[in-house]
Amino acid sequence: MEAFCQSLETRNDIRLHCFFQSGSEEYEEVIYDLELSEEEGASEKVTRVMQEQGEDLTPSFTKFDFIFYPEKVVMTVERNTDLMAGGDSDNIQTGTYTLFASDWMPDTSATMEKQDILAPYQSVELAAMARAYYLKENHFLAPEVECVKNDDGTTTIHLYEIVEDDEKVSHTGTSAWYTVEFPAMSLGEIAQYVKTPIALTYSEEGEQTASSTAASVEDSWTVVPLASAQELVPYSCTEFSMNIPEGWSVKSSAMYTGMFHAIHVFDPENPVNQIFFMLKMEPLFSDENSRAMMALSSDLFGKCPILTNVSTQGVFEIFPQFADAMNATADYADIQTPYIADFSVTESFESTQGVSSVAISPSILRADFTQNGTTGEGMFTADVVPFAMGTGMGYYSVYNLTVLSAEKGTFQDWQPTLNKVLSSLNYTPEFQSFAMSQSNQAASTSQSLSQSASEMSDSIMSSWENRNRSQDIMSQKQSDATLGYERIVDTETGNIYKIDNGFTDWYDGSRYKSITDDQYTDSVEAVIHWK
């Protein structure tokens, strides 16, 4: 379009801003003061048209009407061709014009001079145009912009971002410098890339507006599904079957380990993403004397830890020692028992599954930990049962030891998948028959070993659903800030996405919105890259 309406000020009647080329490549701004009829209603007739210089152009139009809607204004113009000459680029033509609302409004403070208000372009407009142009050419929306008017009438525009080197030091990362006499982009082009800084912007029929562009924004998206959202694949061996994430490793002990059977399912690329499940582990000693007595019959017993805090939490506080004992045993050397260290409980829940009725201080724990230098978080449970205590040969047995974990900040995404994996665990009839023949009365309280795993999964899921969500909100926000994401919700599907920072500053549609704090505890569908 060669001539277009730039904006419409609706304070104190109407000021209509237009740009005409008049046969030149450069645009000239023309401002019209419009007086409206005093009729009430959404439809208003223009009773007087005054050009900025004071010329009365009312007779030049046979019709000049406005219809006001909540988010747009429709302007209908009919020219008196006998009185108003000129082509498409010279002045307002007969037609219907639709003007869409945006967030920006011109500064009309009492301190601003009239000539500043009437200036062809304000800094806010030039800044938006420069950001739009750079985004179009480089696929990056510079977060910061500065405009400086030069003595020669040009304007220098600086696009940049603030780069944090560490907690106390930052520097300016420049995207581009522009020195312009007049913006080269049309408003139609601007509307395709950024929130237009125009109060009400004209769009020709068929021309893409900011709103319509927003509706098709997905065309430029790169959607990366979360690893935790991948489909599970079946795994089976002599002792059990289960469904696991594709590409994960499974390590387990042999059939003859019976009730001491252990399973470790983990991501080889990031082993802190894992499930560890052991039907029974022992012995854990009450003191050094008990351990010394048992060590006389087996060197292995001498490597088993002392349980000073007799509880579920206590088991995991000494877990590295137990891992050492397991890894020193040929039956478990290949399992890669995780070294869960620096165990720190963040939340505790009552446990009523497994052998909790005869256990000491049973619970389901939510905790942070470290594993080989990686910080993890997860859900943990284990039932501690005393055996022959007071005989000098007594010790503790631990049943249904369960670990579901992921790297810190990602467990929320991984938790549904990990629970599905655990609940899918199904021991073969042959293994169950053999293992149960080794069990004592305490361990036989469950109907089957497979049911024990399923009950653990259900109990962990229930505890997770009843967790204190305030810490999740804070943790997820910190994770997003570190990784450069924000979160949006698709109002049509309800799906939540992580998306590169800056999207909601640019996006002008209604389908995607920033999530509320409560929604930080909901599962994320995928990660979206849009720049």
pLDDT of residue 351: 81
Last residue of a domain, one of 440, 467, 494: 467
> What is the number of other CB atoms lying within 10 angstroms of the CB of residue 439?
17
Same domain, 53 and 27: yes
Q: Both 281 and 416 in a single domain?
A: yes
- Same domain, yes or no: 365 and 479: no
Residue 164 within any structural domain of the chain: no
Residues shown for the chain: 531
Residues 410 and 513 in one domain: no
> Of the candidates 205, 211, 178, 220, which has an alpha carbon nearest to the alpha carbon of residue 192?
211
Do 499 and 384 fall within a single domain?
Answer: no
Domain assignment present for 74:
yes
Residue 205 lies in a domain: yes
pLDDT tens per residue across span 389-428: 655 667 888 988 999 999 998 898 899 899 999 999 999 9
DSSP state of 523: P
Which positions ≥6 away from 320 have C-beta within 8 Å? 339, 340, 341
* 498 and 442 inside one domain: no
Which has the closest alpha carbon to 43: 10, 76, 11, 14? 76
Give the three-state DSSP class for 350.
strand
* Environment class of 8 (CB within 10 Å of its CB; exposed 0-12, middle 13-18, buried 19+): buried
- Report the C-alpha dihedral over residues 389, 395, 397, 402, rounded to 10 degrees: 130
Range of the domain at 101: 1-105+199-209
Whole-angstrom distance, CA of residue 121 vs CA of residue 190: 14
User: Does residue 190 contact residue 128 with C-beta atoms inside 8 Å?
Assistant: yes
Report, in angstroms and rounded to the nearest whole number, the Rg of the chain calculated over CA atoms: 35
Number of domains within the chain: 3
Spatial separation of the C-alpha atoms in residues 127 and 182, rounded to whole Å:
12
Report DSSP letters for 1-66, one per residue.
Answer: --SEEEEEE-SSSEEEEEEE-TTSSS-EEEEEEEEEPS--SSEEEEEEEEETTS-B-GGGEEEEEE
Residues 26 and 219 sit within 8 Å (Cβ to Cβ): no
Neighbours of 4 (CB within 10 A): 22
pTM listed for this prediction = 0.57
User: Which regions in the chain score pLDDT beneath 70?
Assistant: 1-13, 25, 27, 39-43, 68-72, 84-89, 100-125, 136, 165-170, 181-216, 297-299, 354, 356, 388-393, 439-451, 531
Note the pLDDT of residue 191: 43
Query: Contacts for 126-130 with beta carbons within 8 Å, 24 or more apart?
Result: 126/155, 126/157, 126/180, 126/183, 127/157, 127/197, 128/190, 128/194, 128/195, 128/196, 128/197, 129/183, 129/185, 129/190, 130/157, 130/159, 130/176, 130/178, 130/180, 130/183
459, 317: one domain = yes
**pLDDT digit string, tens, across residues 117-153:** 333 455 666 777 777 777 767 777 788 888 887 777 7
pLDDT score for 278 = 92
Residues 335 and 444 in one domain: yes
Give the Cα separation of 458 and 465 in Å (integer).
11
Strand partners of residue 363 = 350
Q: Are residues 302 and 418 in the same domain?
A: yes
Half-sphere exposure of 275 (CA within 13 A, CB side): 28
Q: What pLDDT, on a 0 to 100 scale, did the predictor assign at position 374?
A: 95
Q: What is the pLDDT of residue 110?
A: 38
With respect to residue 369, please indicate whether it lies within any of the assigned structural domains.
yes
**Is 339 within the bounds of a domain?**
yes
Strand, coil or helix: what is 273? coil
pLDDT at 228 (0 to 100): 82
At 387 the pLDDT is 80
Let me know whether 205 and 257 are in one domain.
Answer: no
Pair 462, 488 in one domain:
no
Q: Could you tell me the two tokens for 164? A: 């944090």
Instruction: Supply the DSSP string of 353-395, one letter for each residue.
Output: STTGGGSSS-EEEEEEEEETTEEEEEEEEEEEEEESTTSSS-E
